[in-house]
């Protein structure tokens, strides 16, 4: 097992929290990530905000490395795959298409559509299998926003979702506070941290009985 | 004197005669200077006739002629709330002089209809804010309308100095000056240590000017509410509500009282305490701070004006603003922090010419009693804090250039010449200029070759913004004031109470109680930047903490404190505050020694907790912290060890496990001025500080949208936090000049390396009293208590421990 990972047993399945803000499901050789927000920096640039490109490329490399090192057969992206519809024919659209095609050469790619994915041309990314609301692979429900889950089978399935970009504010001694991305595990489901490096976070407070796993620089750490 | 000048002067005097008096001499000086085409700065406080001094010049010069179109006078005010009163003040003399001039406002409150009418039929005099004036410049036809401007009057210029808003004003002034080279610029300012410098900052380096001083200054009385007894071992644990009975008595005796606090949470607590103690005052007591919804705030301000409120607990939100004639008392809870600030707050009472302004300091800690005496001395001597104008704020320059590009475009050569006439950018290098142009056109070096980036385009060698959408977005983000508040607090059925920071709401669970806007609220849920609440019945002490920078004690006030301590030691002090503090000071002297202007106090103490080095430079929290980290770094470099650092306004503590060799030579080395910047940079986490400093820069330079969340998907999809932006730039564009600016601002403004250098110099000239007390002294005890608080988790155990320790020390002192 990779350095800095933490495993949990959920509904009889082992899930692994990976420090690259990804979730591994080893038995099914699946890598799960949420909120990649591809094209965010170029979207900003198109609207006159000078964000250097580069984080998209870095994010793609991180995924490629993840699936290779985990020897995966499946990649599931829990929505907000792109930040906004990419203009067809644009540089960043080309790059994304090329990478998806390359990746699709050796694994399945599933994307559960998120609110940012609305309006994205699915035909331009033919190798991706899109899921409109949710994808169920027993015992898990894969969905973008857990709050929109259909209540059917609610207790039988464990929900894996994104959308929130959970971070935890850690108090450091002195005045500066540190915000770290977290995996947020509740009784009914697990919320993944956002994968994209150019994505923000929303500070959350765990309820009684929740568990949080922080993604630190040297690995995933359970928080008490 | 030319006959028309004599004629004008006669007319002005006649108007004054009608009101039974002669003009002040300085008013006549102002008019004459204006009529001879001069620019400059008028130093006068509010209520001394400064408005007429600046206004009658242009009015009489124009006479009855009002047919020529175009704006002739622009009057800048720092607060749009002031615009209404100003408008009536400017209108008042017009009928007498048969002037047909129209005076109008243009602020964020002005309706779109009104603004559109101002376009087709511009008023002769326009009252506006720097932000609204900048917005005007984003319209292509603005240059035409403003090319006939005669006078730019900047009211309360001291408020702008030393801020980025001031830099924005300088740039706008340079623009207006180049539209009409004959433009006269006058600043109106309260007293500042460097009036000439203040004038040069506004006028730039191509316009000569002169300073006119109004001799008539206000009288101030500064006193304090003295506690019956004080703790000889003071600590910050008390909420400072001990003085409540005395405050209530004061309120009973006054008509309308403003109670100033230093933080918004403190305001909430005092409001709660007052209304709990006096339920009958519930309807005539109000709370006013920057997070409370603007509509509610305006209602409160009107209440003060109408005299229907007995007491308003407020923060700096009421430092400036419209006149409140009914206000007859000002209370300052806790440290006044600075002399200029105290004067400003005192000035909210007795606002009329000739009336005395009075402020009463309500100490919440024993040593704040001392600050009251120090503040009084500083006010008597007018020892005000300097406000050096900012330089080379490239973020503001970038915003200004986009403004020009949106408003009809600019020629780069001319824009550079214009920028270099300002005080802020007279030292702008070609490289910096090139970078800013590159930043707004191509997004900086990191985006080169990225064809989709568009903000400013070059058309026929002019820089323009072509897309209407980009112009709109720029307009929404114009300005240099950043607001923290982003989550609205709203009733379930609607109605916004105000705004708090996202992080506070993030910590709330449904059902949690907290105090806001003077009410106890129950948090229901958060949705889309709105936190819904309902009124709660229970009680809580949980108050949002706002992250606004806590203002440190100013160096001027710190030095004055030392002065008061020196006078106590010499036995020449007469202040009533010192009688109350006597027991504390005597014990300090007995157990250790007194810090004075001539003596730097250093206490070395070894006990079970470890080895303590206490130093009391009295420089305010920020500078004390700077010196503390510097000394810690240097001491640790000589003998590796870990220090824990604790600072307050008066001094700092370094604590380590192993004893330190505190020899005079070692102390000289640790407090040396050599290698200051290098050691300073090594001693702080610069990246962390710069990251926080970057917030404003990113906003102003247009990298992140302004604090006001806007609706619509596109707007939401363009939101990113400045911290995220900082990380991305550091990773992919490390040479970005805005990052460098953030680091420079940390060094110059936060760590204040110049002031630090001056302070170290001053300390080197002092005699060092290195004492070895056996136990904590009245001066070191508060530092110990502060440190303990950061180490122990529960407030209760902390309070108990501090109280126990204070009792123990008290027994030993007897």
For chain B, the domain total comes to 5
**What is the number of alpha carbons within 13 Å of residue A2 lying toward its C-beta?**
22
- On the 0-12 / 13-18 / 19+ scale of CB atoms within 10 A, A85 is middle
Task: Report pLDDT digits (tens) over B658-711.
Answer: 888 899 999 999 999 999 989 988 887 777 788 888 888 988 998 887 644 444
pLDDT recorded at residue B711: 45
pLDDT recorded at residue B109: 81
Task: Report pLDDT digits (tens) over B543-581.
Answer: 887 765 578 899 999 999 999 999 999 999 899 999 999
Q: How confident is the model at residue A173 (pLDDT cuts 50, 70, 90)?
A: very low
Question: Domain check: are B650 and B666 in the same one?
Answer: yes
Task: Report pLDDT digits (tens) over B392-439.
Answer: 999 999 999 999 999 999 999 999 999 999 999 999 999 999 999 999
Give the chain A residue whose CA is nearest to the CA of B549: A175
Positive or negative torsion for Cα B348, B349, B351, B354:
negative
Highest mean pLDDT among B41-45, B275-279, B418-422: B418-422
* Residue B540 covered by a domain: no
What CA–CA distances, in Å, run from B279 to B244, B249, B314, B522, B541?
14, 15, 19, 21, 18
- Give B692 or B463, the one with higher predicted confidence: B463
pLDDT recorded at residue B355: 78
Whether A51 sits inside 8 A of B454 (CB atoms) is: no
Question: Domain check: are B679 and B690 in the same one?
Answer: no
pLDDT recorded at residue B717: 67
CB of A161 within 8 Å of a chain B CB? The answer is no
Which tokens go with B271? 């409001």
Phi and psi at B285, nearest 5°, equal -120, 140
- Give B390 or A153, the one with higher predicted confidence: B390
Phi and psi at A131, nearest 5°, equal -125, 125
Question: Domain check: are B184 and B271 in the same one?
Answer: no
Scan for tokens 């060092």, then name that residue: B768
Helix, strand, or coil (residue B585): helix
Question: Domain check: are B759 and B741 in the same one?
Answer: no
* Residue B89 covered by a domain: yes
Question: Domain check: are B195 and B288 in the same one?
Answer: no
Contact A144, A79 (CB under 8 A): yes
pTM for this one? 0.85
> Which residues in chain B have their CB less than 8 angstroms from residue A48's CB?
453-455, 470, 473-474, 702
Task: Report pLDDT digits (tens) over A38-72.
Answer: 999 888 888 888 888 788 999 999 999 999 999 99
* Residue B371 covered by a domain: yes
pLDDT recorded at residue A175: 45
Average pLDDT on B198-220 reads 90
pLDDT recorded at residue A78: 97
* Residue B774 covered by a domain: yes
The domain defined by A6-223 folds into: Purple Acid Phosphatase; chain A, domain 2 (3.60.21)
Question: Domain check: are B333 and B473 in the same one?
Answer: no
* Residue B624 covered by a domain: yes
pLDDT recorded at residue B265: 87
Q: Does the pLDDT of residue A155 top 70, yes or no?
A: no
Which tokens go with B746? 């940390």
Q: Where are the domains of chain A?
A: 6-223
Question: Domain check: are B287 and B428 in the same one?
Answer: no
Q: Tally Cβ neighbours within 10 Å of residue B68.
A: 9
Q: What is the mean pLDDT of chain A?
A: 89
* Residue B146 covered by a domain: yes
Whether A83 sits inside 8 A of B717 (CB atoms) is: yes
Residue from B569, B611, B618, B572 nearest B590 by CA: B569
pLDDT recorded at residue A174: 42
Question: Domain check: are B344 and B404 in the same one?
Answer: no
Residue from B87, B145, B136 nearest B115 by CA: B136
Q: How confident is the model at residue B797 (pLDDT cuts 50, 70, 90)?
A: confident
Average pLDDT on B129-138 reads 94
Nearest to A45 among B443, B502, B729 (CB): B443
Which helix or strand (DSSP H or E) is residue B557 part of?
helix B555-570
Question: Domain check: are B180 and B282 in the same one?
Answer: no
Q: How far, in Å, CA of B134 to CA of B475, rounded?
A: 9
Q: Domain range for residue B702?
A: 394-481+686-750
Q: Does the pLDDT of residue B17 top 90, yes or no?
A: yes
pLDDT recorded at residue B764: 94
Name the domain boundary from B750, B769, B803: B750
For residue B275, list its beta bridge partners.
none
CATH at B364:
3.40.50.300
Please state, for a pLDDT cut of 90, what percent of chain A lies above it: 62
In total, chain B counts a number of residues equal to: 814
In total, chain A counts a number of residues equal to: 224
Question: Domain check: are B808 and B659 in the same one?
Answer: yes
Question: Domain check: are B510 and B371 in the same one?
Answer: no
What is the side-by-side strand order in the sheet with B599-607?
B644-647, B652-656, B610-616, B599-607, B767-771
Average pLDDT on B598-603 reads 97
Q: Does the pLDDT of residue B793 top 60, yes or no?
A: no
Task: Report pLDDT digits (tens) over A101-121.
Answer: 999 999 999 999 999 999 888
Name the domain boundary from B750, B771, B795: B750
Give the chain B residue whose CA is nearest to the CA of A115: B713
Least-confidence region, from B56-70, B201-215, B275-289 = B56-70
Test mutation, A46, A50, A209, chain B, max B CBs within 10 A: A50
- The Cα of B770 is separated from the nearest Cα of chain A by a number of Å equal to 28
* Residue B573 covered by a domain: no
For chain B, which residues lie within 8 Å of any Cβ of chain A, measuring from their own Cβ?
439, 443-444, 446-447, 450-455, 469-470, 473-474, 502-503, 506-509, 685, 688, 692, 702-704, 714, 717-721, 724-725, 727-729, 731-733, 790
- Look up the ipTM and state it: 0.73
Average pLDDT on B588-616 reads 95
Q: What is the mean pLDDT of chain B?
A: 88
> Which residues in chain A have their CB less than 8 angstroms from residue B714's CB?
47
The C-alpha R_g of chain B, in whole angstroms, comes to 28
Residue from B645, B669, B642, B608 nearest B790 by CA: B645
List strand residue ranges (DSSP E) for B566-665, in order: 599-607, 610-616, 644-647, 652-656
Task: Report pLDDT digits (tens) over B165-175.
Answer: 999 999 999 99
Question: Domain check: are B226 and B78 in the same one?
Answer: no
Give the chain B residue whose CA is nearest to the CA of A176: B688
pLDDT recorded at residue B119: 85
Task: Report pLDDT digits (tens) over B100-128.
Answer: 899 999 988 888 899 888 888 889 999 99
**Concatenated DSSP letters of A36-94:** --BTHHHHHHHTT--PPS-HHHHHHHHHHHHHHHTT-SEEEE-S--BSSPPPTTSHHHH
pLDDT recorded at residue B709: 47
């Amino acid at each position: 097992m990779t350095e800095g990972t933490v495993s949990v047993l959920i509904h009889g399945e082992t899930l692994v929290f990976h420090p690259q803000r990804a979730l591994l499901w080893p038995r099914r050789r699946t890598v799960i990530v949420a909120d990649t927000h591809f094209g965010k920096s170029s979207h900003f640039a198109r609207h006159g905000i000078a964000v250097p490109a580069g984080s998209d490329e870095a994010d793609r490399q991180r995924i490629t490395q993840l699936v290779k090192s985990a020897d995966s057969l499946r990649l599931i992206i829990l929505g907000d795959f792109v930040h906004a519809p990419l203009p067809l024919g644009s540089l960043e659209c080309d790059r994304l298409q090329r990478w998806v095609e390359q990746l699709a050469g050796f694994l399945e790619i599933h994307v559960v559509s998120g609110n940012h994915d609305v309006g994205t041309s699915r035909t331009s990314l033919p190798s991706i299998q899109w899921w409109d609301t949710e994808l169920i692979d027993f015992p898990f429900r894969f969905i973008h926003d857990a709050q929109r889950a259909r209540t059917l089978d609610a207790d039988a399935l464990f929900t894996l979702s994104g959308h929130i970009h959970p971070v935890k504010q850690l108090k450091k001694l002195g005045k500066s506070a540190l915000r770290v991305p977290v995996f947020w595990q509740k009784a009914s489901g697990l919320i993944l941290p956002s994968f994209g490096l150019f994505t923000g976070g929303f500070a959350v407070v765990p309820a009684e009985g929740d568990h949080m796993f922080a993604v630190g620089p040297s690995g995933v750490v359970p928080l008490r | 004197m030319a006959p028309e000048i004599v004629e004008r002067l006669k007319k002005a005097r006649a108007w004054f005669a009608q009101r039974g008096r002669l003009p002040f001499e300085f008013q006549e000086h102002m008019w004459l200077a204006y009529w001879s085409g001069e620019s400059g700065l008028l130093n006068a406080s509010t209520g001394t006739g400064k408005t007429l001094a600046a206004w009658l010049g242009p009015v009489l010069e124009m006479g009855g002629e009002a047919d020529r179109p175009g704006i002739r006078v622009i009057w800048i005010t720092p607060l749009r709330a002031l615009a209404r009163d100003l408008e009536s003040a400017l209108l008042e003399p017009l009928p007498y002089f048969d002037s047909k001039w129209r005076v109008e406002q243009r602020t964020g409150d002005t309706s779109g209809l009104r603004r559109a009418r101002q376009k087709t039929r511009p008023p002769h005099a326009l009252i506006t804010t720097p932000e609204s004036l900048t917005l005007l410049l984003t319209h292509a036809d603005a240059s035409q309308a403003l090319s006939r401007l005669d006078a730019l009057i900047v009211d309360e210029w001291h408020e702008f100095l030393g801020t980025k808003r001031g830099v924005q004003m300088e740039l706008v002034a340079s623009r207006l000056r180049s539209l009409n080279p004959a433009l006269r610029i006058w600043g109106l300012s309260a007293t500042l240590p460097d009036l000439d410098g203040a004038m040069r900052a506004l006028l730039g380096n191509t316009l000569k000017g002169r300073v006119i001083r109004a001799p008539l200054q206000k009288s101030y009385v500064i006193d304090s509410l003295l506690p019956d007894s004080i703790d000889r071992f003071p600590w910050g644990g008390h909420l400072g509500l001990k003085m409540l009975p005395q405050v209530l008595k004061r309120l009973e005796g006054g008509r309308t009282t403003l109670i100033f606090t230093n933080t918004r949470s403190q305001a909430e607590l005092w409001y709660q305490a007052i209304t709990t103690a006096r339920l009958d005052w519930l309807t005539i007591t109000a709370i006013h701070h920057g997070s409370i919804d603007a509509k509610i705030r305006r209602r409160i301000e009107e209440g003060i004006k109408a005299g229907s409120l007995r007491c308003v607990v407020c923060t700096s939100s009421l430092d400036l603003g419209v006149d409140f004639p009914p206000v007859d008392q000002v209370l300052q809870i806790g440290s006044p922090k600075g002399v200029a600030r105290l004067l400003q707050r005192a000035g909210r009472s007795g606002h009329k010419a000739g009336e005395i302004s009075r402020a009463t300091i309500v100490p919440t800690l024993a040593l704040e009693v001392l600050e009251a005496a120090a503040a009084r001395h500083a006010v008597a001597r007018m020892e005000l804090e300097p406000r050096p104008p900012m330089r080379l704020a490239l973020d503001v320059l970038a915003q200004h250039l986009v403004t020009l590009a949106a408003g009809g475009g600019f020629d780069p050569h001319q824009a550079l010449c214009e920028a270099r006439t300002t005080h802020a950018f007279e030292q702008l290098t070609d490289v910096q200029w090139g970078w800013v142009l590159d930043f707004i056109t191509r997004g900086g070096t990191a985006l080169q070759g990225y064809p989709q980036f568009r903000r400013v385009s070059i058309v026929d060698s002019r820089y323009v913004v072509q897309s209407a959408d980009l112009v709109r977005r720029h307009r929404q983000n114009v300005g240099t004031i950043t607001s923290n508040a982003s989550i609205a607090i709203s009733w379930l059925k609607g109605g916004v109470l105000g705004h708090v920071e996202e992080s506070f709401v993030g910590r709330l669970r449904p059902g949690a109680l907290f105090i806001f806007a003077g009410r106890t609220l129950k948090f229901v849920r958060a949705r889309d930047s709105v936190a819904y609440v309902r009124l709660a019945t229970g009680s809580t002490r949980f108050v949002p903490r706002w992250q606004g920078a806590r203002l440190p004690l100013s160096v001027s006030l710190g030095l004055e404190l030392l002065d008061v301590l020196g006078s106590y030691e010499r036995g020449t002090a007469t202040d009533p505050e010192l009688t109350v503090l006597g027991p504390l000071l005597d014990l300090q002297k007995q157990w250790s020694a007194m810090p004075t202007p001539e003596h730097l106090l250093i206490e070395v103490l070894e006990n079970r907790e470890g080895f303590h080095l206490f130093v009391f430079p009295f420089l305010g929290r920020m500078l004390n912290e700077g010196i503390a980290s510097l000394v810690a770094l240097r001491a640790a470099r000589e003998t590796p060890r870990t220090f824990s650092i604790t600072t307050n306004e008066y001094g700092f503590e370094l604590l380590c496990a192993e004893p330190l060799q505190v020899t005079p030579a070692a102390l000289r080395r640790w407090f040396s001025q050599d290698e200051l910047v290098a050691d300073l940079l090594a001693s702080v986490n610069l990246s962390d500080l710069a990251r926080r400093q970057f917030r404003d820069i990113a906003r102003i330079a247009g990298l992140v949208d302004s604090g006001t969340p806007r609706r619509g998907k596109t707007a939401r999809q363009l939101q990113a936090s400045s911290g995220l932006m900082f990380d991305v730039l550091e990773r992919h564009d490390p040479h970005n000049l805005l990052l460098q600016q953030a680091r420079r601002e940390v060094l110059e403004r936060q760590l204040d390396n110049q002031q630090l250098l001056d302070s170290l110099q001053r300390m080197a000239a002092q005699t060092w009293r290195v004492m070895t007390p056996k136990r904590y002294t009245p001066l070191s005890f508060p530092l110990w208590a502060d440190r303990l608080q950061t180490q122990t988790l529960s407030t209760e155990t902390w309070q108990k421990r501090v109280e126990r320790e204070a009792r123990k020390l008290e027994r030993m002192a007897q």
